[in-house]
């Protein structure tokens, strides 16, 4: 694997803003027209990722869709260039609170088009149920949630959380560092076999940063807090998730990769048919499968994904389409 290449050149430059959000200094990437009267397009990233991850999709949007529109992508707390007080774990509801404050700033009093990938997909589905009036259209990219749990798993779950807190404070959970930017790019290409070297080089420069070491050397460190690796102390309750899904009033586009991510992560503990059963709670659903993609589908097929997004966000309201799927 040769990760050394000239980096990808973005077609649409982003600009950065820093906002005070709930005791955090949030980094937000913006593309397009800040004075737009169109619904803002808000794109939130997944676990151990950054806002810049959406650059390829933003570049792939057609001029007719992009021109005159504001696109907003934050680095979640503890990721990228967003900073705050040191913590030893992250609570999932905080992401919903941060999103609320972000929308209060950029779209007060008007609904947005909201896109989330992976963890971000889970967040936008939950937020869409909690604040349905704030969402015009919702797009979930590979945001599946977690395997179902039982109440009797709570004692071991809390014990594991406590054990992982101890490990973090001992320094046992530190994220891996790299000796060069090429090393970071190689790591990204190993994780995603479809990622070309030029995109890996560009993403690596957004995903990690050089940091001086005690011995005078320099290592590239991932822009993510090790505390994100600490398990959520609370159980994942499917009944709560289905209630949130049922409360979403906006049309929802669910985009899945042609590779079965759930099978790779969970085996038979959590399957696509099980997730599709949860989706039955969504009132107005369109489901698509994007060909030749893995979990990072916005890196693998940004042109095809941009086409799906544009079609969904500009189409008239559609009736309930639960269970439908086609190759994108």
pLDDT tens digit string along 200-249?
A: 999 999 999 999 888 888 999 999 999 999 999 999 999 999 999 999 99
Q: For tokens 């990233």, what's the residue? A: 45
> For residue 319, what pLDDT band results from cuts at 50, 70 and 90?
very low
pLDDT of 3 reads 67
Q: For tokens 């939130």, what's the residue? A: 44
pLDDT at 324 over 60: no
Strand arrangement, sheet containing 218-222: 177-178, 218-222, 208-212
Minimum mean pLDDT among 154-158, 189-193, 251-255, 321-325: which range?
A: 321-325
Give φ, ψ of 24 to 5 degrees.
-115, 155
The predicted-structure confidence for 256-282, as pLDDT tens digits, reads as follows 999 999 999 999 999 999 999 999 999
> For residue 5, what pLDDT band results from cuts at 50, 70 and 90?
confident
- Checking DSSP bridges between strand 83-84 and strand 24-32, what pairing results, if any? antiparallel
Mean pLDDT, to the nearest integer, of 92-112? 97
pLDDT of 59 reads 98
Length of the chain: 328
Mean pLDDT, to the nearest integer, of 153-176? 95
pLDDT of 217 reads 85
User: Is the alpha carbon torsion for 212, 215, 221, 227 positive or negative?
Assistant: negative
- Average pLDDT over all residues of the chain: 94
pLDDT at 92 over 80: yes
pLDDT at 188 over 60: yes
Give the CA diameter of the chain: 62
> DSSP H helical segments within the chain, as ranges?
55-60, 63-66, 93-106, 119-130, 154-170, 181-191, 197-207, 238-247, 261-266, 272-279, 297-300, 302-314
Q: Quick check: helix, strand or coil at residue 286?
A: strand
Mean pLDDT, to the nearest integer, of 7-21? 96
pLDDT of 2 reads 67
pLDDT of 320 reads 43
pLDDT of 46 reads 98
d(CA 254, CA 287): 5
Distances from the Cα of 325 to the Cαs of 126, 276, 278, 287, in angstroms? Answer: 23, 11, 16, 5
> For residue 253, what pLDDT band results from cuts at 50, 70 and 90?
very high
Note the pTM of the prediction, 2 decimals. Answer: 0.94
> For residue 326, what pLDDT band results from cuts at 50, 70 and 90?
very low
pLDDT of 316 reads 86
pLDDT of 4 reads 74
């Amino acid at each position: 694997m040769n990760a050394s290449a000239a980096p990808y050149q973005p077609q649409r430059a982003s600009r950065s803003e820093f906002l005070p959000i709930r005791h955090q200094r949030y980094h937000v990437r913006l593309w397009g027209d800040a004075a737009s009267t169109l619904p803002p397009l808000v794109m939130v990233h997944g676990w151990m990722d950054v806002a810049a991850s959406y650059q390829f999709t933003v570049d792939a949007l057609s001029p007719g869709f992009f021109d005159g529109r504001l696109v907003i992508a934050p680095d979640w707390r503890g990721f990228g260039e967003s900073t705050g007080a040191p913590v030893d774990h992250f609570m999932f509801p905080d992401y919903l609170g941060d999103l609320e404050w972000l929308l209060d700033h950029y779209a007060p009093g008007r609904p947005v088009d909201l896109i989330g990938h992976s963890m971000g997909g889970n967040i936008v589905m939950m937020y869409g149920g909690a604040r349905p009036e704030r969402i015009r259209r919702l797009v979930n990219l590979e945001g599946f949630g977690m395997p179902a749990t039982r109440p009797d798993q709570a004692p071991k779950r809390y014990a594991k959380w406590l054990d992982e807190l101890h490990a973090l404070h001992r320094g046992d959970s530190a994220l891996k560092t790299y000796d060069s930017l090429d090393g970071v790019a190689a790591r990204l290409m190993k994780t995603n076999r479809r990622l070309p070297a030029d995109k890996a080089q560009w993403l690596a420069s957004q995903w990690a940063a050089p940091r001086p070491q005690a011995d005078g050397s320099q290592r590239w460190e991932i822009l993510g807090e090790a505390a994100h690796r600490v398990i959520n102390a609370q159980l994942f309750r499917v009944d709560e998730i289905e209630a949130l899904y049922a409360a979403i009033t906006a049309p929802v586009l669910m985009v899945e990769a042609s590779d079965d991510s759930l099978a790779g992560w969970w085996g038979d503990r959590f399957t696509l048919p099980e997730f599709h059963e949860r989706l039955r709670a969504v009132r107005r659903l369109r489901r698509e499968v994007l060909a030749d993609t893995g979990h990072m589908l916005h890196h693998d097929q940004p042109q095809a994904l941009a086409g799906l997004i544009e079609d969904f966000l500009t189409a008239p309201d559609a009736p309930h389409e639960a269970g439908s799927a086609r190759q994108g």
